[in-house]
Amino acid sequence: MSGLDGVVLHVHGPSTAADQLEAVKELYAEAFFPPPHNQGPVQLERMAESWPGRLTAPGFRLVVAEHEGKPIGCIYGHQLAVTTKWWQGAIDPISDEITREFEGRTLGVIDMMVRSEWRRHGVAQALHSHFLVDRSEERATLLVDPINTPARGAYSKWGYEVVGRIQPFPDMPKFEAMVKEL
């Protein structure tokens, strides 16, 4: 396996993403259940239950990477609502300038995952780049577990900066909130 040879990227909007939930769940479990993440069925169920609502959010997009017809990674997200809960659970104070939302301001990267054997081959960067193509938002945000040093390094390299720490649910890690101007 070298680089992205044979990898095909599929961009989905709400109508075709609905049929991709099983692939997303499979990728989620493989990426986030093992250490160091240690997420489990509760978080997977939370993700699956939120899927229909995500599909109806403005600007929803899913990008799936496949190799030989098998999903090897994906990224999905949508615009944050004016009344978003994204910034709730802040551990450190985050400035109002960061947390203030207005329609179409921020693109939230909800999840990005790549199968372990495909990591460090450029799949995540290709997914991320396709996810951001032709976006109208002024910035993107994501949450990263600080112990995930490869992801943190990639996000920093791609222009994201840490703006604070957030714990979205009591059973989740204390994530670093990162923002990138688009």
CATH number for position 101: 3.40.630.30
**Rounded to an integer, what distance in angstroms lies between the CA atom of residue 118 and that of residue 62?**
19
Backbone phi and psi for residue 158, each to the nearest 5 degrees, phi listed first: -85, 5
Beta bridge partners of 90: 166
Which residue range(s) make up the domain with 145? 7-181
Task: Check residue 43 and give its pLDDT.
Answer: 80
Any domain includes 72: yes
Any domain includes 1: no
Any domain includes 78: yes
Any domain includes 35: yes
pLDDT at residue 2 tops 70: no
Average confidence (pLDDT) over 76-99 = 93
Any domain includes 93: yes
Task: Check residue 178 and give its pLDDT.
Answer: 98
pLDDT at residue 21 tops 90: yes
pLDDT at residue 127 tops 50: yes
pLDDT at residue 170 tops 90: no
71 residue type, one letter: P
pLDDT at residue 157 tops 80: yes
- Domain count for the chain, please give it: 1
Task: Check residue 37 and give its pLDDT.
Answer: 59
- Of the pLDDT bands very low, low, confident and very high (cuts 50, 70, 90), residue 1 is very low
Q: Which two tokens stand for residue 113?
A: 């995952």
Q: Are strands 106-114 and 139-144 parallel, antiparallel or unpaired?
A: parallel
Distance of CA 125 to CAs 29, 43, 119, 153, Å?
20, 25, 10, 12
pLDDT at residue 159 tops 90: yes
pLDDT at residue 44 tops 90: no
| pTM across the whole model | 0.93
pLDDT at residue 39 tops 60: yes
Q: Which two tokens stand for residue 55?
A: 């599909």
Any domain includes 2: no
Q: What number of other Cβ atoms are within 10 A of residue 100's Cβ?
A: 11
pLDDT at residue 124 tops 70: yes
* 106 in Cβ contact with 142 (< 8 Å): no
Task: Check residue 174 and give its pLDDT.
Answer: 92
**Rounded to an integer, what distance in angstroms lies between the CA atom of residue 107 and that of residue 20?**
21
pLDDT tens by residue, 129-156: 999 999 999 999 999 999 889 999 999 9
Any domain includes 13: yes
Any domain includes 134: yes
